[in-house]
Structure 1
Amino acid sequence: MAAKTAARMAPWPAATEIDTGATVQQALDRALKADVSGNDLLEYWEDDPRTKVIALYLESFGNPRRFGRIAHRVGRHKPIVAIKSGRSTSGDRAVRSHTAAATPDIAVEALLRAAGVIRVDGMQELLDTARLLATQPLPAGGRMAIVGNSGGPQALAADACERHGLVVPELSPATQRRMRSRLRVAAAVANPVDLTADGQAEELEFAALTALEDPVVDVVLIVYTPPFGSGLERTREAIARVAGSTNKTVVACVVGHDETIGPVPAYAFPEQAVQAVSRAADYARWRSRPAPPFVPPTGTDIQAARELVEEDLSRHPQGRWLDPATAARLLACYGVAVAEFATVHSADEAARAAARRGERPPGGRGEPVRPAGHGARPRAGA
């Protein structure tokens, strides 16, 4: 996981562990972005094989259009989780005093949504979501089975699912029959699957694996309240075995413990787990949509532009700043209109050129008259 947090332009030591067990490969603070932008970092992390998830703290956008293009491309294969401060009036005031820049929140929301960036509301949610994305496969859908030993937290998880757009479907009759054949009589098997406080680690493992085999289930949330059942350590081992036996998404809530159990992100409270799954499911739906086809711009002549540049470089092998007339021809190849201009070498020539065009002399209003050596300056060969 790559993160932009609090380390002034210096990477954290490789594989730094944070309290939740997630590995932070790099944490960079760009300060006032004097020479390194968020777009630069996105492109760096895009090609970094160690980085599975990109986590960003944002205050403003220097080039939002470029950010959107890059994030959309990167997000197709590597999730980006972002928190944007300055959403409230007072927060916006703080951002402006800090960076002298701010972006209206409605514009930020539209930009991040279109680019497939997972927007979260706080640092805890950023870490919760990034941990899931870094350790588990993306959910194939939003249908969750909740399996555990504690009815209260499981009910809270089911409530949170409805708030966040997830579904807690009733398990199929075949799945329920199989569970009843192995679980204690007091267990509830419809979904949530409540093993009661006496449920052992082996029962938890069996119930979770059975739920994962049901075609109506995309994600299993394992809820465990210690120290009941088989105890914390044996239950952790069972949770890790479940994740190692399936290609579906597995998350856990071990009440009071934020940690990572093998490849399973475990959260202290059920609402954390559900919210992280909801963010991941939304991202999976965005990523499953086909990318919009490339539509070449109209009114362009790339071949003519290439020939113009090659011709100029043949005369100036070291490259040069293009003169205004050549620059205008190059821009015209891409459909960019340039205001009419004349090249002059003195004030008298400027006055005559302005008179020919019915304009006021330099300093007046009208189309520009440029002294020689000034004007549009694309550089050939740069």
Structure 2
Amino acid sequence: MNRRHRRGPRLWASALALVAAFGFAVPQQAASAAEGPAVTLSKSEAGAGGSVTVKGSGWRPDALLMMLICGQSAPGKGVVGGTNSCANADGRAVTTGSDGSFSKDLPVAEPPVPCPCVVHVATVTGETAQADAVLKVAGHAVKAIPEQATGGKLSVLTDTRLDGSSGILTWFGAPPSRTFVFTVGNVGSAPLKDPVFQVGTSHGVFAPQWEDQQWRGTIAPGKKAQIKLPVELSSGAHGNYLISLKFGGKVLAEQPWGVGRPWGVTLFWILLCVVVPAAIFRIGMAVVDRVRPRRSGGGGGGASRHRSARRRPELTARLPKLSRHEPSGPPSATTTTTALPWFTPDTDPGAPAGQLSAPSDNTPTTKGHT
């Protein structure tokens, strides 16, 4: 009984501790989710060529983010010129952890436009989320951000279109590009100076990727203007895309865009798979033919036969011609003539037929001259 009474308070204490821990953990997670994504920097000022550590929290778990240093920007105002105002070549990608946080070093580079500058962090895929942190780039020019009039209101008056065509480089995987052309009118009571539009590109079921683009000019109340904004996709992009136009948080127009497949890349890989093996095969055969040993049997005999056949006419031409007639003078000591058995000594094969006589059976056969 005493043991049971002792175990009871311990169990209740453990249960209360777990409930308390769970109760405190849930509000903390809810608070971090309510705050949204945030970004902090290890230092507020750095020069070009240095680096700064970027830390983030409150992001989606396992989300792919892109970090850029952008000019003409400020927290709450966004990047005025879009990614064209950022040092894109020195950007870094980072993936958040299971708790939605990350930490990564970012090289400091001067953006193509003057400061104020920020470290702009945004999601690459999935639901759009972004956050900015102020960074002063030492030695870089500073220019005030143009004020945006609040009384103007734009409306699309005519149908939008995409001008341009794909060239031979696009057929080989170059980024497809078009010009988004549309006409807007200011239906508000105040002029709009240098309005900033958001152009989004979406493919399939993915959410659009928005990019801020600023148009230089002023639209007076009751006036209209034709606006042209460049649109560019990634390298090798193909399929059906949707280009969206947003201003003041409202989507004004959408335009479909069908991008053909870069068949030049496919043709290149096919030729590469055919030409390279053929070249390797020819090189291998040449190496084998050079390395293999020469046969001394059949191959050498055939060559000697051909050489002897070529020498036969020369040998024949050099042999002395044999005469069918015996010399008319007396035989010398160095020259001997052998007569055939059935010819007499005073006849030869070149004599007339009447002068030839066959030896009789009783006549002995003589050799040489008598």
TM range (shorter): under 0.3
Q: TM-score of the superposition, structure 2-length normalised? A: 0.19
User: Which structure is higher in strand share?
Assistant: 2
Bigger relative contact order, structure 1 or 2, given CA contacts below 8 A and separation 6+? 1
User: Which structure is higher in helix share?
Assistant: 1
Bigger Cα Rg: 2
